[in-house]
Amino acid sequence: MLGSELELVEWLRAQQGEHPAVRLGIGDDMAVMESPPGRLLISSDMLLDGIHFDTNRHAFRQIGRKAIACALSDCAAMAVQPLVATVSVALSGERGMADAQELYGGMLAMAEEYQVAIVGGDTTRWDHPLAIDVAIAATPYDGIEPVTRSGAKAGDTLYVTGPLGGSLLGRHLAFTPRVHEARGLADQLGDRLHAMIDISDGLGLDLWRMCEASHVGATLDEHQLEAVISDDARKAAAEDGRPPLEHALGDGEDFELLAAVAGDLGQPGVRLCAIGQVTEAGLIIRRTDGRVEPLEPKGWVH
């Protein structure tokens, strides 16, 4: 693997041009960045064959794209500007240079689209399925404070940025991380954007996480939720017999944003659908017939 790893590192370095945040990129023991003024935010995501993708069915370029997109979605959740990423890959033994380059090709294309530099990482080989870990660093936009999941307040309206459910029919590999939408919302709404989280593990579970962090509750409106049930959720429901709403609440890997907003929304430049309200306590759903039921925080848990 020694020769192959060196060859891959040289190939990867040659695929990227200069980046304003990078003083020294791939090729040394550590990357060197020009330190931006203020704070630096860091997160990481690990993706595993058989859980987040399937190398027997999915193209390596799609898999690479998703790996970077998941990291970008974390940046969107806090409305911050992604800067650089490191990528560590454990390739399964039978995979060669062509597969590795296809994988990184998907990563590079997504990174370039969002002006992110891949500045290093590690590549190794083992006799197990493909594993990918992406660490990403970001900085606040000028004049915009990072939006946490802990600021929701009773009386806020809950919004999502797009359709939910059924992502495993294909959307989980091709979703658009809401980086630009998040910046637009934070810029427009200012301090009325109280909290935000990306829906990676399912609306029910990620809403619960926001409520726990904010020490509040929430009521979802079944009638409003009808507008955000995806066509894929309805297809999945037709196949497995579960209600479409159950798919929308718990399937996960939608990577839309869930936002808690105070006051009138006005005319946002971003598509938003209201789905409920933040309350003092409890997690419930109001049915279309007026009944109120507890809402279980279902979703994907590793």
The model's pLDDT over 25-84, given as tens digits with 9 standing for 90+, comes to: 776 565 677 766 677 888 989 999 999 999 999 999 999 999 999 999 999 999 999 999
d(CA 284, CA 256): 21
Q: What is the DSSP string of 158-220?
A: EEESS-BS-GGGTHHHH----HHHHHHHHHHHGGGEEEEEE-SS-HHHHHHHHHHHHT-EEEE
Answer whether residue 3 shows pLDDT above 60. no
CB 231 within 8 A of CB 300: no
Reading the block at residue 205, the tokens are 């579970």
CB 126 within 8 A of CB 93: yes
Answer whether residue 2 shows pLDDT above 50. no
d(CA 165, CA 228): 9
27-31, 58-62, 183-187, 290-294: which range is least confident on average?
27-31
d(CA 143, CA 17): 28
pLDDT tier, 1 (very low <50, low <70, confident <90, very high otherwise) = very low
Enumerate the domain spans of the chain.
2-140, 157-294
* Record: fold of 157-294: Phosphoribosyl-aminoimidazole Synthetase; Chain A, domain 2 (3.90.650)
pLDDT confidence of residue 68: 98
pLDDT tier, 182 (very low <50, low <70, confident <90, very high otherwise) = very high
Q: Helix, strand, coil proportions of the chain in percent (round to 5)?
A: 35, 30, 35
Query: 175 Cβ partners below 8 Å, 6+ apart?
Result: 66, 69, 73, 167, 253, 254, 255
% of the chain residues with pLDDT over 70: 94
> CATH homologous superfamily of domain 2-140?
PurM-like, N-terminal domain (3.30.1330.10)
pLDDT confidence of residue 33: 72
CB 279 within 8 A of CB 216: yes
Which residues lie across from 131 on neighbouring strands? 48, 90
d(CA 199, CA 77): 9
Query: Cα separations (Å) of 265 from 141, 217, 257, 274?
Result: 22, 21, 16, 10
Q: What is the DSSP letter of 281?
A: S
pLDDT confidence of residue 20: 83
